[in-house]
């Protein structure tokens, strides 16, 4: 795998699936960066399943709370139904302008040392009917932090995602395996297997603890991967 480190301070947090811990990872990383004295802004471009005004349970709101940023305080575009963003947009008679979304994200990056961008769903889940998280990473010239759940099946899912990222020549910062709600016999051993099979040395196991200070400690290694100067 390509482990070169470009100078871009943009990091796309992508998942092998939905519910694997992208938001937990983004929040923990944001707190760790703040503690390291970095200006960090976290953006959730698209979020579905949003009913009414922005709620504390929303990913975009949680990310903003973790950074303490002035804005955005929630996802840039919010949709009601908990389905893929373009389907949710169609149901509401709305359109998602990918280029405008990229422009908005870049504007927020101007006031940050590090911009964290959390994708929606899995790596190939559509952001529009034509674009996905890989297109977003390419448009932003961002590195990719891949998040997966440390459970049975993750070796296959993670290796497939890494293979695709390699084929499209996107820079992979590393992989974070988050502890599942119910550990199984593979939990704790998947990181070594993924590293061995992929050749990627930066694979981290992170317990999904709720304490903010402890969670930021859990992803401290990612800060070292970033090689911030």
pLDDT in the model for residue 179: 95
Q: Which helix (H) or strand (E) holds 98?
A: helix 98-109
Enter the pTM of the model: 0.93
Which of these, 87, 143, 92, lies nearest to 120 by C-alpha position? 87
pLDDT in the model for residue 140: 96
pLDDT in the model for residue 210: 87
Within 13 Å, how many C-alpha atoms sit on residue 181's CB side?
2
pLDDT in the model for residue 228: 62
Burial class (CB in 10 A: 0-12, 13-18, 19+), 1: middle
Kindly state whether residue 2 falls inside one of the protein's structural domains: no
Kindly state whether residue 62 falls inside one of the protein's structural domains: yes
Reading across the β-sheet that carries 172-178, which strands appear in turn?
Answer: 40-43, 114-122, 10-15, 143-149, 172-178, 203-206
Q: How far apart are CA 226 and CA 3, in angstroms?
A: 11
Kindly state whether residue 1 falls inside one of the protein's structural domains: no
pLDDT in the model for residue 15: 97
Q: How far is CA 183 from CA 26, 150, 186, in A?
A: 22, 8, 8
Per the structure, the complete domain to which residue 178 belongs is given by 10-226
Burial class (CB in 10 A: 0-12, 13-18, 19+), 196: exposed
Kindly state whether residue 119 falls inside one of the protein's structural domains: yes
Active-site choice (44, 78, 143, 151): 44
- Which CATH number is 207's domain given? 3.40.50.300
Kindly state whether residue 115 falls inside one of the protein's structural domains: yes
For 67-81, what is each residue's pLDDT tens digit? 999 999 999 999 999
Kindly state whether residue 122 falls inside one of the protein's structural domains: yes
Number of domains in the chain: 1
The question of whether 22 is a catalytic residue gets the answer no
List per-residue pLDDT tens for the chain, 229 residues long.
Answer: 444 333 348 999 999 999 999 999 999 999 999 999 999 999 999 999 999 999 999 999 999 999 999 999 999 999 999 999 999 999 999 999 999 999 999 999 998 999 999 999 999 999 999 999 999 999 999 999 999 999 999 999 999 999 999 999 999 999 999 999 899 999 999 999 999 999 999 999 999 898 988 999 999 999 999 986 4
Kindly state whether residue 3 falls inside one of the protein's structural domains: no
- Sign of the CA dihedral running 218, 209, 133, 67: negative
pLDDT in the model for residue 227: 80
């Amino acid at each position: 795998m390509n482990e070169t480190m470009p100078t871009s301070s943009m990091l796309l947090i992508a998942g092998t699936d939905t519910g694997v811990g992208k938001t937990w990872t983004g929040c923990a990383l944001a707190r760790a960066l703040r503690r390291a004295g970095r200006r960090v802004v976290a953006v959730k471009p698209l979020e579905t399943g949003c009913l009414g005004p922005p709620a504390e349970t929303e990913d975009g709101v949680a990310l903003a709370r973790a950074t303490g940023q002035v804005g955005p305080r929630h996802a840039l575009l919010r949709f009601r139904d908990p389905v893929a963003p373009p389907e949710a947009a169609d149901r509401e008679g709305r359109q998602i302008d990918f280029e405008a979304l990229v422009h908005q994200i870049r504007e927020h990056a101007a006031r940050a040392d590090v911009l964290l961008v959390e994708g929606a769903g899995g790596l190939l889940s559509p952001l529009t009917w034509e674009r996905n998280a890989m297109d977003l990473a390419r448009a932003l010239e961002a590195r990719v932090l891949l998040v997966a759940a440390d459970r049975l099946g993750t070796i296959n899912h993670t290796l497939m995602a890494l293979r695709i990222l390699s084929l499209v020549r996107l820079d992979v910062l590393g992989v974070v395996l988050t502890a599942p709600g119910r550990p199984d016999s593979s939990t704790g051993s998947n990181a070594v297997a993924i590293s061995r099979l992929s050749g990627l040395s930066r694979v981290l196991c992170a317990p999904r603890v709720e304490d903010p200070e402890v969670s930021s400690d859990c992803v401290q290694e990612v800060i070292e991967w970033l090689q911030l100067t």
